[in-house]
Protein backbone atom coordinates (compact mmCIF):
# COMPACT_ATOMS: atom_id res chain seq x y z
CA UNK A 1 0.00 0.00 0.00
CA UNK A 2 1.30 3.48 -0.83
CA UNK A 3 1.71 6.28 1.72
CA UNK A 4 -1.18 8.09 0.00
CA UNK A 5 -3.43 5.05 0.45
CA UNK A 6 -2.30 4.69 4.07
CA UNK A 7 -3.20 8.31 4.74
CA UNK A 8 -6.57 7.94 3.02
CA UNK A 9 -7.47 5.02 5.28
CA UNK A 10 -6.40 6.97 8.36
CA UNK A 11 -8.60 9.90 7.31
CA UNK A 12 -11.42 7.44 6.64
CA UNK A 13 -10.97 6.04 10.16
CA UNK A 14 -11.30 9.47 11.76
CA UNK A 15 -14.27 10.40 9.59
CA UNK A 16 -16.04 7.14 10.40
CA UNK A 17 -15.73 7.92 14.09
CA UNK A 18 -17.29 11.33 13.54
CA UNK A 19 -20.19 9.90 11.51
CA UNK A 20 -21.01 6.95 13.74
CA UNK A 21 -20.59 8.76 17.04
CA UNK A 22 -22.90 11.55 15.87
CA UNK A 23 -25.67 8.96 15.56
CA UNK A 24 -24.77 7.21 18.80
CA UNK A 25 -24.70 10.28 21.03
CA UNK A 26 -27.81 11.84 19.49
CA UNK A 27 -29.59 8.52 20.06
CA UNK A 28 -28.57 8.75 23.70
CA UNK A 29 -29.56 12.44 24.01
CA UNK A 30 -31.11 14.55 21.27
CA UNK A 31 -29.53 17.61 22.93
CA UNK A 32 -26.03 16.08 22.99
CA UNK A 33 -23.06 18.29 22.13
CA UNK A 34 -22.44 17.43 18.48
CA UNK A 35 -20.27 20.09 16.86
CA UNK A 36 -17.76 20.25 14.01
CA UNK A 37 -15.35 22.99 15.00
CA UNK A 38 -12.19 23.99 13.12
CA UNK A 39 -9.92 20.97 13.59
CA UNK A 40 -12.09 19.35 16.30
CA UNK A 41 -15.17 17.10 16.19
CA UNK A 42 -17.20 17.01 19.40
CA UNK A 43 -19.47 14.00 19.96
CA UNK A 44 -20.40 14.23 23.64
CA UNK A 45 -23.54 12.72 25.18
CA UNK A 46 -22.31 13.72 28.67
CA UNK A 47 -23.58 10.45 30.11
CA UNK A 48 -21.93 7.92 32.41
CA UNK A 49 -20.84 5.70 29.51
CA UNK A 50 -17.45 7.24 28.79
CA UNK A 51 -17.23 5.96 25.20
CA UNK A 52 -20.17 8.21 24.26
CA UNK A 53 -18.21 11.26 25.46
CA UNK A 54 -15.74 11.87 22.64
CA UNK A 55 -13.60 14.61 21.14
CA UNK A 56 -11.26 14.02 18.21
CA UNK A 57 -8.84 16.15 16.20
CA UNK A 58 -9.62 16.39 12.48
CA UNK A 59 -6.72 18.39 10.98
CA UNK A 60 -4.41 16.55 8.61
CA UNK A 61 -0.63 17.15 8.79
CA UNK A 62 -0.96 19.71 11.59
CA UNK A 63 2.32 21.17 12.82
CA UNK A 64 3.32 21.14 16.52
CA UNK A 65 1.95 24.63 17.22
CA UNK A 66 -1.46 23.82 15.76
CA UNK A 67 -1.63 20.45 17.54
CA UNK A 68 -0.77 22.17 20.82
CA UNK A 69 -3.57 24.68 20.21
CA UNK A 70 -6.08 21.95 19.35
CA UNK A 71 -5.15 19.87 22.39
CA UNK A 72 -5.72 22.87 24.63
CA UNK A 73 -9.10 23.51 23.03
CA UNK A 74 -10.09 19.85 23.36
CA UNK A 75 -9.10 19.79 27.03
CA UNK A 76 -11.16 22.94 27.67
CA UNK A 77 -14.21 21.30 26.06
CA UNK A 78 -13.73 18.20 28.22
CA UNK A 79 -13.35 20.27 31.42
CA UNK A 80 -16.71 21.95 30.76
CA UNK A 81 -18.57 18.62 30.89
CA UNK A 82 -20.16 16.84 33.84
CA UNK A 83 -18.99 13.35 32.92
CA UNK A 84 -15.52 12.18 31.85
CA UNK A 85 -14.74 10.98 28.36
CA UNK A 86 -11.85 10.64 25.95
CA UNK A 87 -9.93 12.51 23.32
CA UNK A 88 -9.36 10.11 20.41
CA UNK A 89 -6.12 11.04 18.63
CA UNK A 90 -5.38 9.46 15.24
CA UNK A 91 -1.60 9.43 15.14
CA UNK A 92 -1.20 9.15 11.37
CA UNK A 93 -3.08 12.41 10.79
CA UNK A 94 -0.39 14.40 12.60
CA UNK A 95 2.62 15.89 10.86
CA UNK A 96 5.88 14.07 11.57
CA UNK A 97 7.21 16.69 13.96
CA UNK A 98 3.92 16.97 15.83
CA UNK A 99 3.68 13.20 16.09
CA UNK A 100 7.06 12.97 17.79
CA UNK A 101 6.07 15.42 20.53
CA UNK A 102 2.37 14.77 20.93
CA UNK A 103 2.54 12.96 24.27
CA UNK A 104 4.37 15.91 25.86
CA UNK A 105 2.00 18.39 24.21
CA UNK A 106 -1.01 16.51 25.56
CA UNK A 107 0.40 16.52 29.08
CA UNK A 108 1.00 20.27 28.84
CA UNK A 109 -2.66 20.68 27.86
CA UNK A 110 -3.75 18.83 31.01
CA UNK A 111 -4.39 15.45 29.41
CA UNK A 112 -3.03 12.04 30.33
CA UNK A 113 -2.58 8.99 28.15
CA UNK A 114 -5.26 6.39 28.89
CA UNK A 115 -4.88 3.44 26.49
CA UNK A 116 -4.07 2.56 22.86
CA UNK A 117 -6.22 1.55 19.93
CA UNK A 118 -5.93 0.96 16.19
CA UNK A 119 -8.05 1.96 13.23
CA UNK A 120 -8.80 -0.90 10.83
CA UNK A 121 -10.62 -1.31 7.53
CA UNK A 122 -11.07 -3.77 4.71
CA UNK A 123 -13.05 -4.68 1.61
CA UNK A 124 -13.99 -7.96 3.21
CA UNK A 125 -17.70 -8.48 2.61
CA UNK A 126 -19.69 -10.58 2.08
CA UNK A 127 -18.42 -13.14 4.58
CA UNK A 128 -19.69 -16.72 4.77
CA UNK A 129 -22.42 -17.32 7.34
CA UNK A 130 -20.62 -17.77 10.66
CA UNK A 131 -21.06 -20.38 13.34
CA UNK A 132 -19.43 -21.46 16.58
CA UNK A 133 -20.02 -24.84 18.24
CA UNK A 134 -20.61 -23.23 21.65
CA UNK A 135 -22.83 -20.34 20.60
CA UNK A 136 -26.23 -19.39 19.30
CA UNK A 137 -26.75 -15.86 17.97
CA UNK A 138 -29.66 -13.58 18.84
CA UNK A 139 -30.27 -10.16 17.33
CA UNK A 140 -30.75 -7.32 19.82
CA UNK A 141 -34.41 -6.28 19.55
CA UNK A 142 -35.67 -5.90 23.14
CA UNK A 143 -34.74 -3.88 26.19
CA UNK A 144 -33.58 -7.08 27.88
CA UNK A 145 -31.18 -7.68 24.99
CA UNK A 146 -29.91 -4.11 25.20
CA UNK A 147 -29.26 -4.50 28.92
CA UNK A 148 -27.29 -7.70 28.31
CA UNK A 149 -25.31 -5.95 25.58
CA UNK A 150 -24.55 -3.02 27.87
CA UNK A 151 -23.52 -5.28 30.74
CA UNK A 152 -21.14 -7.29 28.55
CA UNK A 153 -19.40 -4.08 27.51
CA UNK A 154 -19.18 -2.81 31.07
CA UNK A 155 -17.64 -6.06 32.30
CA UNK A 156 -15.23 -6.31 29.36
CA UNK A 157 -13.99 -2.71 29.68
CA UNK A 158 -14.05 -2.45 33.46
CA UNK A 159 -16.94 0.01 33.81
CA UNK A 160 -19.61 -0.13 36.52
CA UNK A 161 -22.72 -1.83 35.13
CA UNK A 162 -24.74 1.34 35.56
CA UNK A 163 -22.37 3.21 33.22
CA UNK A 164 -23.00 0.91 30.29
CA UNK A 165 -26.71 0.88 30.99
CA UNK A 166 -26.76 4.68 31.07
CA UNK A 167 -25.28 4.65 27.57
CA UNK A 168 -27.58 2.09 25.95
CA UNK A 169 -30.85 1.45 27.80
CA UNK A 170 -33.88 2.93 26.08
CA UNK A 171 -32.14 3.10 22.70
CA UNK A 172 -34.26 2.75 19.58
CA UNK A 173 -31.14 2.84 17.40
CA UNK A 174 -29.69 -0.33 18.92
CA UNK A 175 -32.96 -2.22 18.55
CA UNK A 176 -33.77 -1.21 14.98
CA UNK A 177 -30.79 0.19 13.05
CA UNK A 178 -27.67 -1.41 14.50
CA UNK A 179 -27.16 -5.01 13.42
CA UNK A 180 -26.33 -5.95 17.00
CA UNK A 181 -25.99 -9.55 18.11
CA UNK A 182 -25.52 -11.46 21.34
CA UNK A 183 -23.60 -14.72 21.40
CA UNK A 184 -25.33 -17.07 23.86
CA UNK A 185 -23.65 -20.04 25.52
CA UNK A 186 -26.26 -22.33 27.10
CA UNK A 187 -28.70 -19.43 26.87
CA UNK A 188 -26.42 -16.95 28.69
CA UNK A 189 -25.01 -13.90 26.81
CA UNK A 190 -21.21 -14.20 26.74
CA UNK A 191 -20.21 -11.99 23.77
CA UNK A 192 -21.65 -9.26 21.59
CA UNK A 193 -20.93 -7.19 18.50
CA UNK A 194 -22.76 -4.74 16.28
CA UNK A 195 -22.44 -3.18 12.85
CA UNK A 196 -24.07 0.01 11.62
CA UNK A 197 -24.20 1.61 8.19
CA UNK A 198 -21.98 4.68 7.90
CA UNK A 199 -21.51 6.48 4.59
CA UNK A 200 -21.18 3.41 2.41
CA UNK A 201 -19.44 1.24 4.97
CA UNK A 202 -20.34 -1.05 7.83
CA UNK A 203 -18.81 0.16 11.07
CA UNK A 204 -18.18 -2.45 13.78
CA UNK A 205 -19.12 -1.09 17.18
CA UNK A 206 -18.92 -2.20 20.84
CA UNK A 207 -17.52 -5.69 20.54
CA UNK A 208 -17.16 -7.34 23.94
CA UNK A 209 -16.69 -10.75 25.54
CA UNK A 210 -17.38 -11.59 29.16
CA UNK A 211 -14.04 -11.80 31.05
CA UNK A 212 -15.00 -15.35 32.13
CA UNK A 213 -15.27 -16.52 28.52
CA UNK A 214 -12.44 -14.87 26.66
CA UNK A 215 -9.92 -16.55 24.33
CA UNK A 216 -12.46 -19.04 22.99
CA UNK A 217 -13.18 -17.30 19.68
CA UNK A 218 -16.53 -15.95 20.87
CA UNK A 219 -15.76 -12.31 20.06
CA UNK A 220 -14.61 -13.19 16.55
CA UNK A 221 -17.66 -15.38 15.94
CA UNK A 222 -20.21 -12.76 17.00
CA UNK A 223 -18.34 -10.05 15.06
CA UNK A 224 -18.54 -12.22 11.95
CA UNK A 225 -22.27 -12.65 12.60
CA UNK A 226 -22.84 -8.88 12.87
CA UNK A 227 -20.83 -8.30 9.69
CA UNK A 228 -22.61 -11.10 7.83
CA UNK A 229 -26.08 -9.85 8.72
CA UNK A 230 -25.18 -6.19 8.21
CA UNK A 231 -23.78 -6.88 4.77
CA UNK A 232 -26.74 -9.06 3.84
CA UNK A 233 -29.15 -6.28 4.81
CA UNK A 234 -27.28 -3.39 3.19
CA UNK A 235 -25.25 -4.88 0.35
CA UNK A 236 -22.15 -3.10 1.63
CA UNK A 237 -18.73 -4.65 1.07
CA UNK A 238 -16.35 -2.38 3.02
CA UNK A 239 -16.09 -2.40 6.81
CA UNK A 240 -14.26 -0.24 9.35
CA UNK A 241 -13.63 -0.39 13.07
CA UNK A 242 -11.54 0.93 15.94
CA UNK A 243 -9.86 -1.88 17.84
CA UNK A 244 -8.69 -1.90 21.43
CA UNK A 245 -5.34 -3.47 22.24
CA UNK A 246 -7.09 -6.67 23.35
CA UNK A 247 -9.18 -6.92 20.21
CA UNK A 248 -6.54 -5.94 17.67
CA UNK A 249 -5.21 -9.49 17.03
CA UNK A 250 -8.72 -10.78 16.22
CA UNK A 251 -9.71 -8.57 13.31
CA UNK A 252 -6.95 -9.37 10.79
CA UNK A 253 -8.22 -12.96 10.92
CA UNK A 254 -11.51 -11.65 9.54
CA UNK A 255 -9.72 -9.62 6.86
CA UNK A 256 -9.26 -6.17 8.40
CA UNK A 257 -6.01 -4.27 7.84
CA UNK A 258 -4.63 -1.81 10.44
CA UNK A 259 -4.24 1.86 9.59
CA UNK A 260 -3.69 4.66 12.11
CA UNK A 261 -2.73 3.99 15.72
CA UNK A 262 -5.24 5.71 18.03
CA UNK A 263 -4.24 7.26 21.33
CA UNK A 264 -6.95 7.77 23.93
CA UNK A 265 -6.46 10.62 26.40
CA UNK A 266 -8.42 11.59 29.50
CA UNK A 267 -8.24 14.73 31.60
CA UNK A 268 -5.60 14.58 34.30
CA UNK A 269 -7.13 13.81 37.66
pLDDT digits (tens, 9 = 90+) for 103-140: 999 999 999 999 999 999 999 999 999 999 999 999 99
Tell me the sheet residues that pair with 54. 43, 86
Query: What is the rounded CA–CA span in Å between residue 240 and residue 19?
Result: 12
> Do 113 and 265 form a contact (C-beta atoms < 8 A)?
yes
Q: What does DSSP assign to residue 129?
A: P
Confidence of residue 80 (pLDDT cuts 50, 70, 90): very high
Fold type of domain 135-236: Aminopeptidase (3.40.630)
The beta strand positions in 124-201, using DSSP E, are 136-139, 179-185, 188-197
What's the pLDDT score for residue 94? Answer: 96
What's the pLDDT score for residue 65? Answer: 97
Please state, for a pLDDT cut of 70, what percent of the chain lies above it: 98
Half-sphere exposure of 59 (CA within 13 A, CB side): 20
Confidence of residue 73 (pLDDT cuts 50, 70, 90): very high
What's the pLDDT score for residue 5? Answer: 66
Residues 221-247, buried b or exposed e (16+ Cβ, 10 A)? bbbbbbbbbbbeebebeebbbbbbeeb
In this structure, the chain runs to a length of 269
What's the pLDDT score for residue 196? Answer: 98
pLDDT for 269 beyond 90: no
Instruction: Give the residue-averaged pLDDT of 4-25.
Output: 92
Break the chain into its structural domains and give their ranges: 1-119+262-267, 135-236
Half-sphere exposure of 231 (CA within 13 A, CB side): 19
Confidence of residue 86 (pLDDT cuts 50, 70, 90): very high
Amino acid sequence: MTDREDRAESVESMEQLAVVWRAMVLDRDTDADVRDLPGIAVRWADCRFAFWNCVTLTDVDADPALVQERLGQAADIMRAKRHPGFLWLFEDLLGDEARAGVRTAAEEAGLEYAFPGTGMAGDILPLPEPSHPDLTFVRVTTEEHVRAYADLNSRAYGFPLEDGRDGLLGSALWKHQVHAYLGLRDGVPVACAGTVEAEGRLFVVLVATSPDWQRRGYGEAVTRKALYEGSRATGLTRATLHATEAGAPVYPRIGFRPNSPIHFYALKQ
